[in-house]
Each structure stands twice: as structure tokens, then as C-alpha cells.
Amino acid sequence: MRIVTYNVRGFRNGVDRVLRVVRSLRPDVLLLQETGSRRTLRRFAAGASMRAAPDPRSPGRRRVKNAVLLAHPWRSSSAELVRFEGSRHWYPRGALAVRALSEEGSSLWLVSTHFGLNGSERGRQADALMRVVAGFGQVPAVVGGDLNATPEMRAPTRISTGLLDAWATAERGDGFTFPASRPEARIDYVFVSGSITVDSASLGGKGSAEASDHLPVCVDVVLTASERL
């Protein structure tokens, strides 16, 4: 199973450019951040031959622009939007948590998240995220997103106490994802439950340096019989 997390910068470099990257990676699950409008996201999902999980509405509040997209045979059975307290009104941060099911009977929680720019803010957001993950119980989880923090900082360290950092587990070098044209920092991550086996990890895709200011993180995982819940 292939998981990709990708901050697409609101598709400001063009939907078609991002589509080329995603098509070259062929993900089963795509965790997006900065997805622009719902209309643009729908257009992108159709072009990628994937289904966007429901994006719960928050009347009177600005949208948290994270998304979870699924390829056949996966489908979403439920979705919950968690808004992080204390983030800016004009740029709210949060996490979209989606329960996904496959035709073969596998079940996963999939979370796309985007943290803030302030260190103490990110620490609180990491705590909030882990409370969400704790609520998943025995169902395995995958969390992907732009944490705006390097591995030694509080937010990634906090998440790593409960989930495995897939890139670190795969031992594939520095993993720098930002800025895409000349990467010098690892701020984009995929984390998985301990029951999920990380097979490999890689960065980028065809044309990724022109599609966004972040490189996508691509992780191949193996689900075991315990995921068939």
C-alpha cells in the first residue's frame, strides 16, 4: 500500500502540474495540505482518479484545507474534522481524520494535518493530534502532513512517542522536503502505528520541484492480518 503526503500550496503552481506528480507516484492514499477551494480539490481528485473523503463543513468559520484522497479499492466510511484551538482565524489549522475501508476487509484511520509556524503552537497541536489518535483504539493509523518543524523539534518528537516516523524507520537519508527547488529541511512526515510495516520511503515525483514549494513524501507500507478489523 502506498501512502503519499503532499503540501500542494493551494495548487497555485497549477492543478495539472500537481496531477503529473501524483500520477507518477500512483498512491493508494493521498494526504494533502493547502488544498485551495473545494471546487479545485474536486477537479484534482477526478483528474487523479481518486475519491476525496468528505470534508465536514463549519458554517461561519474558515475552512481547514486538509484532504484525504483514496484510490480503489479503498473508500471512506466516516470523517472528522478537528480544529486546533488558538490558530489564526484567517488561517485555521487542524486535522482531517478519515476511517477508510477496503473491499478486502482492511480498516485504517488516515489523518492529514498541517501545523502552525510558532513553536509553542505546534507543541499544543501535536498534543491535540495525539489525543485524536488515542481515540482510534486498536484500529491502525497513518498520519501525514506538514508540521513546519524539523525532526528534533517538539512537535515531531511528541508524535514519535506514539507513532513511528516512517522516513526514519526506512533509513533513507536526510529526507529534506522544503523548499522543493533546493531542499534543506525535513518538515513533511508520514507516521504509522507500530503494527504497520514500513517497506520503503522516497521523495518527490516527476516534476515535483515545479508543482509546489514542498516535495511529496511517498511511503510503501505492508498491512498485516491484524488490520482486517
Q: Which of 34-48, 49-63, 87-101, 209-223 has the lowest mean pLDDT?
A: 49-63
Q: Is the pLDDT of residue 56 over 90?
A: no
Residues 12, 92: contact at Cβ < 8 Å? no
Type of residue numbered 96 = L
Q: Is the pLDDT of residue 151 over 50?
A: yes
Does residue 73 have a cis bond before it (omega within 30 degrees)? yes
Q: What is the pLDDT of residues 64-106, one digit of tens each?
A: 999 999 999 999 999 999 999 877 777 899 999 999 999 888 8
Per-residue pLDDT, 227:
47
Residues 109, 192: contact at Cβ < 8 Å? no
> Pairing mode, if any, of strands 66-70 and 74-83?
unpaired
Q: Is the pLDDT of residue 225 over 70?
A: no
CA distance 74 to 69: 9
- The residue with greater pLDDT, 33 or 206, is 33
Domains and CATH numbers, the chain: 2-227 (3.60.10.10)
The CA distances from residue 36 to 14, 57, 64, 94, in Å, are 11, 15, 10, 15
% of the chain surpassing 70 pLDDT: 97
| Mean pLDDT, rounded, for 183-205 | 95
Q: Which of 25-34, 40-49, 164-173, 208-217 has the lowest mean pLDDT?
A: 164-173
Per-residue pLDDT, 60:
63
Taking the C-alpha atoms of 98, 103, 107 and 109 in order, what is their torsion angle to the nearest 10 degrees? -20
Q: Is the pLDDT of residue 229 over 50?
A: no
Start-to-end Cα distance in the chain: 17
% of the chain surpassing 90 pLDDT: 81
- The residue with greater pLDDT, 120 or 3, is 3
Does residue 179 have a cis bond before it (omega within 30 degrees)? yes
